[in-house]
């Protein structure tokens, strides 16, 4: 057994009474004494503090000294407009493979003289190897192991963080700033994975506990674990890598075509040039063979990942599968996401899921299950 890694906040989680579980090679808090349901609702009503230090933080520094060269280089691996990303702004992206599948999804920030990437914990070693294999001639690639990452999410997040960093009040969704504080230089983005307004904060490991304690002392801020993080992101209709998206899924099938800006699409000034471009751009033009949809089961019991989907009660072969499922505390009903053929993707369509040998009905519904409240 490989020993689980610990984040800089591990001791604080234990002190706060968290139940710790293995996740992506780390020992992480799945819930605190408040419990998953109350943690979820608290984040929606006030502010939740998450340790996401298991995620990978990677800098791309252009060897030429011009960040535009790092952006051009990264565009060889992602289908999004990195060159057009202005200083102090962040963008969602994905690494694709030659078949159009998704190797990982990530955030890319322009920090003036370099790009900062935040990648998923379970993919970070492979992602860094991928970057080094393809971009070393153009960029110095460094994994940051001396910084923690925390997320502060919810309607009270701005007030709480502004108590320490007043300038965050002026930030818009996907803005990125640096703030010098008692905890060291904080790299702050106005973003998150809950559908709520909020922030992600990169902090030196040495200042992580102090920053966390200061935020938890603010009115309305409580620690939140991975359990509530999952139900929050699912209500917001956000994909989880390894469940809803992976190498068998194209961005178009996943409903992520919005993240591919016009300049990278067919007839755009920098069309294609990324792995899987032929497949992805063709699907943008003619449609994908399947599509990600929201699903609303009857009753109160959630239908989990891996549950097969059928057109009717008697069909022998499944037409799709559920990729994520949970109970939604804010919407007070179960919710799932999965993939179906385009002819069955219309909201209101009744499908059947096979649970313990029984075919149970569920309806296709619009995503997200709960509208986002980002500050535009």
Same domain flag for 37 and 175: yes
Same domain flag for 34 and 167: yes
Report pLDDT for 64: 98
Q: Which whole number is the average pLDDT over 287-295?
A: 98
Is the per-residue pLDDT at 2 higher than 80? no
267: left (phi over 0), alpha (psi -120 to 50) or beta: left
Q: What is the mean pLDDT of the chain?
A: 97
Same domain flag for 50 and 169: yes
Is the per-residue pLDDT at 352 higher than 60? yes
Same domain flag for 218 and 300: no
Burial of 331 (0-12, 13-18, 19+ CB in 10 A): middle
- For 273, other C-beta atoms within 10 Å of its C-beta total 12
Same domain flag for 231 and 298: no
pLDDT band at 375 (very low <50, low <70, confident <90, very high): confident
Per residue in 102-152, pLDDT (tens digit) is 999 999 999 999 999 999 999 999 999 999 999 999 999 999 999 999 999
Q: How many domains is the chain built from?
A: 2
- For 289, other C-beta atoms within 10 Å of its C-beta total 11
> What gap in Å lies between CA 135 and CA 129, rounded to an integer?
10
Q: Which whole number is the average pLDDT over 82-111?
A: 98
Q: Domain span at residue 153? A: 10-55+146-235
Q: Which residues contact 234 (CB under 8 A, 6 or more apart)?
A: 240, 324, 325, 326, 328, 335, 337, 369
Per residue in 193-205, pLDDT (tens digit) is 999 999 999 999 9
> What gap in Å lies between CA 201 and CA 183, rounded to an integer?
11
Same domain flag for 150 and 47: yes
Which residue, 105, 146, 343, is CA-closest to 239? 105
> What gap in Å lies between CA 352 and CA 321, rounded to an integer?
10
Same domain flag for 296 and 227: no
Strand partners, 308: 321
Domain membership of residue 61 (yes or no) is no
Q: Which whole number is the average pLDDT over 271-291?
A: 98
Same domain flag for 44 and 156: yes
Which long-range contacts (C-beta less than 8 Å, at least 24 apart) are formed by 21-28? 21/226, 23/54, 23/121, 23/226, 24/54, 24/120, 24/121, 24/122, 25/54, 25/121, 25/122, 26/54, 26/121, 28/54, 28/225, 28/226
Is the per-residue pLDDT at 1 higher than 80? no
Indicate the pairing of strand 308-310 with strand 320-328.
Answer: antiparallel
Same domain flag for 229 and 300: no
Least-confidence region, from 70-79, 149-158, 281-290, 308-317: 308-317
pLDDT band at 299 (very low <50, low <70, confident <90, very high): confident
Report pLDDT for 322: 98
Same domain flag for 294 and 184: no
> What gap in Å lies between CA 273 and CA 264, rounded to an integer?
8
Torsion angles phi and psi, residue 197, rounded to 5: -60, 150
Same domain flag for 152 and 49: yes
- Per cent of the chain over pLDDT 90 is 97
Strand partners, 362: 297, 351
Residue 327 sits in a domain of what CATH number? 2.40.30.110
Per residue in 3-15, pLDDT (tens digit) is 999 999 999 999 9
Torsion angles phi and psi, residue 277, rounded to 5: -60, -40
Report pLDDT for 16: 98
Same domain flag for 33 and 162: yes
The strand order across the sheet containing 139-143 reads 90-96, 102-110, 115-119, 56-62, 139-143
Report pLDDT for 333: 97
């Amino acid at each position: 057994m490989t020993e689980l890694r610990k984040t800089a906040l591990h001791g604080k989680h234990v002190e706060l009474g968290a139940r710790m579980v293995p996740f992506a090679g780390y020992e992480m808090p799945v819930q605190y004494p408040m419990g998953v349901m109350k943690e979820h609702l608290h984040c929606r009503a006030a502010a939740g503090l998450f340790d996401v230090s298991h995620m990978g933080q990677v800098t791309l520094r252009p060897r030429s000294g011009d960040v535009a060269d790092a952006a051009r280089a990264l565009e060889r691996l992602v289908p999004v407009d990195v060159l057009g990303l202005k200083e102090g702004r962040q963008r969602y992206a994905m690494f694709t493979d030659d078949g159009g599948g998704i190797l990982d999804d990530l955030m890319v920030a322009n920090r003036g003289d370099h790009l900062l990437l935040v990648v998923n914990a379970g993919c970070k070693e492979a992602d860094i190897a991928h970057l080094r294999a393809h971009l070393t001639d153009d960029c110095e690639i460094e994994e940051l192991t001396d910084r923690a990452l925390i997320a502060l999410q919810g309607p009270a997040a701005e007030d709480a963080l502004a108590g320490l960093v007043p300038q965050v009040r002026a930030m818009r969704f996907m803005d990125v700033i640096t703030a010098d504080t008692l905890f060291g230089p904080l790299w702050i983005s106005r973003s998150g994975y809950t559908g709520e307004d909020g922030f992600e904060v990169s902090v030196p490991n040495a200042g992580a506990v102090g920053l966390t304690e200061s935020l938890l002392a603010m009115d309305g801020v409580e620690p939140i674990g991975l359990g509530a993080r999952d139900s929050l992101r699912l209500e917001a209709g956000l994909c989880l890598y390894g469940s809803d998206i992976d190498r068998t899924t194209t961005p178009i099938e996943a409903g992520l075509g919005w993240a591919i800006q016009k300049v990278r699409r067919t007839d755009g000034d920098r069309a294609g040039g990324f792995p899987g471009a032929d497949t992805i751009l063709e699907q943008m033009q003619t449609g994908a063979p399947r599509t990600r949809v929201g699903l609303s089961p009857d009753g109160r019991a959630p239908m989990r990942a891996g549950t097969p989907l059928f057109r009717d009660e008697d069909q022998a072969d499944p037409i799709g599968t559920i990729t994520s499922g949970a109970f939604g505390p804010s919407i007070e009903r179960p919710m799932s996401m999965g993939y179906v053929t385009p002819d069955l993707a219309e909201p209101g369509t009744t499908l059947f899921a096979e649970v313990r040998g029984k075919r149970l009905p569920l309806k296709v519904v619009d995503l997200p299950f709960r509208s986002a409240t980002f500050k535009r």
